[in-house]
Amino acid sequence: MTEAWIGALQQQVDERQDELFALLAELVAYPTVSPPARNTLEAQQFLEKQLQASGFATELWEVYPGDPNVTAVKRGTNRERYRSLLLNGHMDVAEVGDSGGWKRDPFKLVLEDGRAYGRGTADMKGGLAALLFASKLLTEAGVELKGDLLFQAVIGEEAGEAGTRACMERGCEADFAIVADTSGLAIQGQGGVITGWVTLQSPETFHDGMRSRMIHAGGGVQGASTIEKMAKLIAGLQDLERHWAVSKSYEGFPPGSNTINPAVIEGGRHAAFIADRCSLWITVHFYPNEDYEAIASEIEAHLLGVAQGDPWMRKHPPTFRWGGRSMIEDRGEIFPSQELNPQWSGLKALEQSHQQVLGVLPAVGMSPSVTDAGWIGREGIPTVIYGPGQLEHAHAVDESVDINELIYYTKVILGFIADWCNRPKEEAGSSV
C-alpha cells in the first residue's frame, strides 16, 4: 500500500524537519544518564505530553523512584478486527564519562555536517523523537488508524533494568512490535545475555594457621579455601565455553560468540583466614534460539558435575543466583534473546515500508548487541529491532546520528503505522 497521501505526508517530514530536530533537542537536553539513573521523571513527563497531544491515552508509573515508565495507547477505530502495533524505546542514555573528551556539550543538540550530535542521538533518543514525530504527523493529518497503536517509553535499558519487562508484566498485547534501538535501519533480532553469581561457601571458618592441616598428609582437618576451589569451577566454565564454541552456532554470529566471561570475583575475608566464601560474577552470551532458563540450567549442571569430581565440593557444592532486574540494585541483568521469522507479516510489511522510502530492501540480520526486544518477544509478540543510528556511535564520545537517516526512519515509521494498523487481523495468507 503506497497511496499518494502517504507520500505527501512523508514529504512533510522533510519540510518540517526543524520540528523533528527541535523535539530531539528537547529529549537530548534531559541528562537521563544511567548509571546513576533515577533521573528520567522530567523527560518522561515531557514525552507523555507529546503523546497526549497526539491523541494517546497515557500512563506514567514508577519503576524506581525518579524513573517512571510511560505506556500509552491510541485506540483504533475498529480495534477488534485490525492489527495493533507496539512501539518501544528507552529514555535513558549511556554514561558520558569524562565529558572533557567531548568536543561539544553532550546535552545540547548540535547539527553539523549532516549529523546530529548529542548523548542519546544514536541510542536512542533519535529513535524516540522519530516515533513521536511520525505519530504527531499522522494525528494532525487526521489519518484513521483502525487498529491500536501502543507506545512504551521505558527506563533502565542501559543498566540492565527491567523497564520493558515491567511493562510486559503489567500486560501488553500487540500483533507486532518495533524496538527503535540502534540498528542503522536494519531489521534485527538478537542473542541474549544473562549474568549470574556462582558461590562457594564453607560451613566453617579457619584461621590461616590451619592451612597446613587442611592440605598435608595426616592433617586431619577437612576444609578448603573457596578461592582455590573456585579456580576449578573457572576452569570448568572455560571447558564449557569451548564446548559451546565448537558445538553451537547461529547464522549471523561469528563462531564462538556464545561466551562465558568470569567478570568479577569476590572472596576471602582477610590475610589471617582461609577464604570461607568466594563468589564469581559471570556474564553469559547465548544465541537467539536459546532461552536464558535453559542456559542457566546447562551451566549449573556442568559446574555441579565439576564439583562431583572434587571431594570437598562434592559435600559443599556451589550455589547459583541468576539474573536480576537491575545491575544497579541487584547486580544482575537479563536480556532475553529474540529470533526473527522472515515469514512474519509485520516483518514483510516493514520491509516494504522501508523499500518505499529508501528504494532498497533493508538488511535483515542479527544485532551484535542486546536490547529490550527479547522481553516483548517472550510474550509471543513478533518483535524486531529497527532504529536509526550506528552502534559504533552509540555510547561513544561525541555520539551522533546521520540527519538523513533519521528523516528516512521517520518516514518509514509513518508509512508503516498507517499501513499496519489498517490491515485486518484475519488478512489471508499472513496468519504468522
| CB of 410 vs Zn ion, minimal distance in Å | 18
Where does this chain touch Zn ion (CB under 5 A) — which range of 81-89, 120-128, 210-218, 311-319? 120-128
| Contact code string over 24-53 relative to Zn ion, x by CB under 5 A | ------------------------------
CA distance linking residue 246 with residue 257, whole number of Å: 11
273 and 207 Cβ atoms separated by less than 8 Å: yes
| CB of 124 vs Zn ion, minimal distance in Å | 5
| CB of 429 vs Zn ion, minimal distance in Å | 34
**Residue 84 or residue 152: which is nearer to Zn ion going by CB?**
152
CA distance linking residue 226 with residue 269, whole number of Å: 11
| CB of 338 vs Zn ion, minimal distance in Å | 14
Where does this chain touch Zn ion (CB under 5 A) — which range of 15-23, 27-35, 123-131, 172-180? 123-131
Strands 319-322, 192-201: parallel, antiparallel or unpaired by DSSP? antiparallel
Q: Which of 124, 131, 180, 376 binds Zn ion (CB under 5 A)?
A: 124
92 binds Zn ion (CB under 5 A): no
Per-residue burial over 166-198, b if 16 or more Cβ lie within 10 Å, else e, is bbbeeebebbbbbbbbbbbbbbbbbbbbbbbbb
**Residue 181 or residue 333: which is nearer to Zn ion going by CB?**
181
Per-residue burial over 370-405, b if 16 or more Cβ lie within 10 Å, else e, is bbbbbbbbbbebbbbbbbbbbbebbbbbbbbbbbeb
**Residue 124 or residue 373: which is nearer to Zn ion going by CB?**
124
**Residue 181 or residue 290: which is nearer to Zn ion going by CB?**
181
In 183-306, the DSSP E strands lie at 187-190, 192-201, 260-267, 277-286
77 by DSSP, 3-state: which? coil
| CB of 378 vs Zn ion, minimal distance in Å | 18
Q: What is the DSSP letter of 111?
A: E
| CB of 179 vs Zn ion, minimal distance in Å | 9
| CB of 425 vs Zn ion, minimal distance in Å | 31
- Concerning whether 157 is annotated as a catalytic residue, the answer is yes
**Residue 279 or residue 337: which is nearer to Zn ion going by CB?**
337
> Residue 394: which of 25, 121, 51 has the closest Cα?
121
> Residue 182: which of 46, 89, 95 has the closest Cα?
89
Q: Which of 67, 123, 372, 399 binds Zn ion (CB under 5 A)?
A: 123
DSSP letter for each residue of 227-249: HHHHHHHHHHHHHHHHHHHHH--
Give just the sign of the alpha carbon dihedral 139, 404, 89, 171: positive
- Concerning whether 276 is annotated as a catalytic residue, the answer is no
* Active-site residue, from 48, 123, 148, 157: 157
Q: What is the DSSP letter of 177?
A: E
| Contact code string over 338-377 relative to Zn ion, x by CB under 5 A | ----------------------------------------
Q: Say which amino acid occupies 121.
A: T
**Residue 159 or residue 274: which is nearer to Zn ion going by CB?**
159
| CB of 279 vs Zn ion, minimal distance in Å | 29
181 binds Zn ion (CB under 5 A): yes
Q: What is the DSSP letter of 395?
A: T
Where does this chain touch Zn ion (CB under 5 A) — which range of 25-33, 180-188, 196-204, 323-331? 180-188
Tell me how crowded residue 88 is: count the other CB atoms within 10 A of its CB: 33
- Count the site residues for Zn ion by CB under 5 A: 3
Where does this chain touch Zn ion (CB under 5 A) — which range of 104-112, 119-127, 185-193, 311-319? 119-127
Beta bridge partners of 115: 112, 402
- In what side-by-side order are the strands of the sheet with 187-190? 57-64, 67-74, 149-154, 85-90, 176-179, 383-385, 187-190, 364-367
399 binds Zn ion (CB under 5 A): no
**Residue 69 or residue 279: which is nearer to Zn ion going by CB?**
69
* Active-site residue, from 48, 67, 92, 241: 92
**Phi-psi label, residue 343: left if phi above 0, alpha if psi -120 to 50, beta otherwise:** alpha
**Residue 123 or residue 148: which is nearer to Zn ion going by CB?**
123
Which residues are known catalytic residues?
92, 157
| Contacting residues toward Zn ion, per CB under 5 A | 123-124, 181
